[in-house]
Each structure stands twice: as structure tokens, then as C-alpha cells.
Amino acid sequence: MNTTKRDGVVDDLVKFSLIALLVVIPIRFFVAEPYVVRGASMEPTFHSGEYLTVDKISYRFAEPVRGDVIILRYPKDESVFFIKRVIGLPGETVEIVGKNVIIQRGKDVPALTLDEQYIEPDRLQDEYGVYALGDGEYFVMGDNRKESSDSRSWGILKRDEIVGRVYLRLLPLTRMSVLPGEERFEISK
């Protein structure tokens, strides 16, 4: 290979690399980001080692909804990321009585008890707590209530601590899915 052809190949490689970086970096930081699940807090919905892609743009146009599975920055150490489920929304009061989660949505609206059929009974525990949410505040919990560090232990989650919604489960291939774990709760009175 002569010097001119080699220089052309190197130039092409440099151009391709720059274009790839100009495309990949903005997508990675503003649109979608990969995460690997660590720990048992979301079992059986998610298992440690699963590879996820997180949608970072949807919540720029819409607010999180009860049942969404999100990635968040741990409020006590923003360099740590957690995966949790949105349970309580701004302006609501979340009350945990025994193994039931009750949502108070306002004075003139009846209280609602969440029907969380995705949780295995042996992953629940009897407990009690009342959590009032203000503007831009969310209450999140893991699906494995016995093993989850969540709003019950470290408090209310602020809106700006939410990174994005889990959009894809890529690995393992046998569990690949779009919007994995997303739940639209059945609500009983």
C-alpha cells in the first residue's frame, strides 16, 4: 500500500470516528443511556446483571406516572444510581399499612389501595408509614420490599433526581423487552 492510500485510510478512519462521537455522545448524554442492574431490590421484575437502556428524553415532555420503573440518582450520594418503581406522585400522601399501599389523592377524592400483583407475597413485610409529597416530589419503592433501600428509608425523591424511565431490557436475550416492568396499577377501593 502506498503512502497516499494509507493516508486516505487514516483520514477516513479519523473522520468516521469523529462523526461517530458527534452522534453517540449526545445520544448517550441526552436521549438514552445504558445501565446494569445491581442488587436484588427489584426482584423478580429485574435481576442483578440485567442490561437496560434508559429513556432520558420522555420526562422532558411528560411527568413520571405511577407504575413507571425509573433510574434515579440516590439522594444521599448522586454518584450512585438506583432502579425503583414510582408509587406516589406530587401532592399525594402515601400510607403503608401492613402490606398495603394506600394513596390519598386529596380531600374530596376517596383513598385508593394499590393492587400490586407483580410483587411476590414473600417479598412483602408488615410496616407502617405516612409520607406526604409536595410539588415535584415522588415516592418510590423496590418490588422486593424486604431488600429495597427506597423512599421508606431515605425519604422523598425530588423530580430532578430522576434520570429517566427504563425503556429496554437488552440482556439476557431471553428476557429482552420494551418498557420492562412497567405497571399500570389496578386500584381497589
Going by the DSSP 8-state scheme, the letter that residue 41 receives in this structure is T
Measured CA to CA, the distance from residue 145 to residue 110 in angstroms comes to: 26
What whole-number distance in Å separates Cα of residue 70 and Cα of residue 177? 15
Give the total residue count for the chain: 189
Given its phi and psi angles, is residue 25 left (phi above 0), alpha (psi -120 to 50 degrees) or beta?
Answer: alpha
| Residue 149 annotated in active site | no
Contact 70, 43 (CB under 8 A): no
Catalytic residue among 56, 84, 148, 151: 84
Rounded to a whole number of angstroms, the distance between the first and last alpha carbons of the chain is: 77
Rounded Cα distance, 139 and 120, in Å: 20
Distance in angstroms (rounded) separating the CA atoms of residues 178 and 167: 6
Sign of CA pseudo-dihedral 80, 43, 46, 59: negative
Respond yes or no: is residue 41 known to be catalytic.
yes
Q: Which position among 5, 15, 17, 41 bears the catalytic label?
A: 41
Active site residues: 41, 84
